[in-house]
Amino acid sequence: MFNLVLFGPPGSGKGTQSVNIVDTYQLHHISTGDILRKEVSEETPLGIEAKKYMDQGMLVPDEVVIGMISSRIDETPGARGFIFDGFPRTRAQAEALDKLLEFKHTQIHLVLSLEVPEDELTRRLLGRGETSGRSDDTEEVIVKRIKEYHAKTAPVADYYNAQGKLEAVKGDYNIRETFKLLSKEIEKYLLPA
């Protein structure tokens, strides 16, 4: 098994690059953002609760997100590996993921951190907001999301760096060029399926 975390600030291209990585390496995609948005659109109790946080640019509480991940991993026995997109976003989530994977006799092998300057993040997210209708892609909420990233998510990079698993990748090239850089790192561990 090969398990990858795609890490980076909001708008760094985690969702975009995950699609390419899944196609090329046949990993199973787990995006907490996508799962939460589905819960919101279906107006489930979890979605109604999560929306309060998401609309304010805040992270959804750890216990909610960790529970979602555990059941997704269990739903996919025999996967070649997983790509975790937008998870973990706090140190508590990272520790919970390590425990969960250890229980399943596996681990995180690589964490790719997409590095993109802040003005480019804002430009991309505002651009997406024009067409996506995402309520968290407004200027006011984007500022809060980036602040929340620095306060709670950026320290997760230190957690994985201490384990020797973190690789920084420049994410401000176009989508194709960025994918090439990510592939170069992945192929130190795994060849295309």
Which residues are known to be catalytic? Answer: 14, 89, 128, 134, 145
Query: Taking the complex as a whole, how short is the minimal distance between the CB of residue 15 and ligand B4P, in angstroms?
Result: 3
Beta bridge partners of 83: 4, 29
Degrees, nearest 5: CA angle 83-88-91: 150
Q: Least distance in Å: CB of 167 to ligand B4P?
A: 17
From the list 14, 167, 175, 183, the residue with the least C-alpha distance to 89 is 14
- 175 in contact with ligand B4P (CB under 6 A): yes
Phi and psi for 110 in degrees, rounded to 5? -150, 140
Our finding on whether 40 is near ligand B4P (CB under 6 A) is: no
Give me the 109-148 binding string for ligand B4P, x by CB under 6 A, dash otherwise.
---------------xx-xx-------x--------x---
Kindly state the smallest distance separating residue 33's Cβ from ligand B4P, in Å: 2
> How far is it, in rounded angstroms, from Cα 110 to Cα 164?
9
Q: Among 7, 25, 87, 160, indicate the residue that binds ligand B4P (CB under 6 A).
A: 87
Q: How many CB atoms lie within 10 A of CB 175?
A: 12
Which region, judged by CB under 6 A, interacts with ligand B4P, from 20-28, 105-113, 173-181, 183-191? 173-181
Nearest 5°: the CA angle 109, 98, 3 is 30
